[in-house]
Amino acid sequence: MAQIIDGKALAAQVLARTAADVAEIVAAGGDAPGLAVILVGNDPASEVYVGRKIAQCRKAGIRSIEHRLAADTPQEVVLGLIDKLNADPKIHGILVQLPLPRHIDAALVLDRIDPGKDVDGFHPVNVGRLSTGTGGLVPCTPLGVMMLLDSVIEDYRGLNVVVIGKSNIVGKPVSMLLLEREATVTVTHIETKDLPDVARKADVIVAAAGAPHLVRGYWVKPGAVVIDVGITRVVDHDGNTKIVGDCATHELEHAKAVTPVPGGVGPMTIACLLSNTVTAAKRAAVA
Ligand code: GUN
């Protein structure tokens, strides 16, 4: 049987460490780290994610300040709010929940965030730092994926890793992190030829395609480690909504280890957001 990597338990450890860091900062006379969360419009999934992020901040002692803006808020107003938050020394992290309404240019908005406060790691400066291995803030989901992998892999040198999906949020940044560890990384996507054959050569698969149960048992070689980043909401025959990953996990008994959905990558993403906020606050204190 494949080992199930418990993302919930690992996230709890990261959250406990983050809460301890916050307590230490406050005990030394510093301000509690502050995270501003901007939500434009009322996308139901985004509301759920933002609610979870705020609730976890509270538990860790991070001050979270929520800015809920109407769906028709002009782009200039969002940019003006970011300028104000960039200049506020009590705000250490700024997160703009994606997707943004269509009339807003997401790239322009993300570019406006001070890279030192960009706890999502989406600003081009942080993307550049990641690709050159020169520090910066690392996107939360890839950071969480690496922590999950670190719980079962000691040495990545020469391992064949196949990343499925080339998004800016997961596929590209996780590939950079794995390259830094000297894995041999193959980034695949919707146009990749013979994807099952490519996947079958992998020691590690990171599935981040957003395609429910794309990765079948025969795609995975015995003893491989499989990280499932997919979270797709599907409605079953009884009309119940459930969350489905990118992997047919029930077909992966021959893998070495797999992450479940839910309870794998998801909890790690929020935990890493909080830890990035503390990292940003610590760096601001010594800047
Ligand atoms: N929407 C989906 N995933 C993310 C994420 O990691 N960060 C932000 N800001 N929005 C998202």
Q: Does ligand 1 have an atom closer than 6 angstroms to the CB of 120? A: yes
Return per-residue pLDDT of the chain as tens, 287 residues.
Answer: 999 999 999 999 999 999 999 999 999 999 999 999 999 999 999 999 999 999 999 999 999 999 999 999 999 999 999 999 999 999 999 999 999 999 999 999 999 999 999 999 999 999 999 999 999 999 999 999 999 999 999 999 999 999 999 999 999 999 999 999 999 999 999 999 999 999 999 999 999 999 999 999 999 999 999 999 999 999 989 999 999 999 999 999 999 999 999 999 999 999 999 999 999 999 999 98
pTM of the predicted protein model: 0.97
Beta-bridged to residue 38, according to DSSP, are 67, 96
Q: Which of the four CATH numbers 3.40.47.10, 3.20.20.390, 3.40.50.1000, 3.40.50.720 does domain 140-266 have?
A: 3.40.50.720
Which region, left, alpha or beta, applies to residue 23 given φ > 0 means left and ψ of -120 to 50 means alpha? alpha
How many angstroms does the Cα of residue 42 sit away from the middle of ligand 1? 14
Residue 131 is assigned to a ligand binding site: no
97 is an active site residue:
yes
Residue 231 is assigned to a ligand binding site: yes
For the chain, the domains span: 30-115, 140-266
72 is an active site residue:
no
Give, for ligand 1, the residue of 56, 78, 97 to mutate: max count of ligand atoms closer than 8 Å to Cβ.
97
Identical fold for domains 30-115 and 140-266, yes or no, is: yes
Q: Does ligand 1 have an atom closer than 6 angstroms to the CB of 118? A: no
CA-based nearest residue to 139, from 166, 114, 169:
169
235 exposed, middle or buried (CB, 10 Å; 0-12, 13-18, 19+)? exposed
Residue 166 is assigned to a ligand binding site: yes
Q: Which of 21, 114, 118, 120 is catalytic?
A: 120
pLDDT of residue 287: 81
Q: Does ligand 1 have an atom closer than 6 angstroms to the CB of 114? A: no
- What gap in Å lies between CA 213 and CA 216, rounded to an integer? 7
Q: Does ligand 1 have an atom closer than 6 angstroms to the CB of 38? A: no
Q: What sign has the CA pseudo-torsion 105, 107, 112, 118? A: positive
Q: Which of 21, 53, 172, 203 is catalytic?
A: 53
Q: Does ligand 1 have an atom closer than 6 angstroms to the CB of 50? A: no
Q: What sign has the CA pseudo-torsion 88, 283, 124, 118? A: negative
How many angstroms does the Cα of residue 223 sit away from the middle of ligand 1? 32
53 is an active site residue:
yes
Give, for ligand 1, the residue of 169, 172, 174, 276 to mutate: max count of ligand atoms closer than 8 Å to Cβ.
169
Assigned fold of 30-115: Rossmann fold (3.40.50)
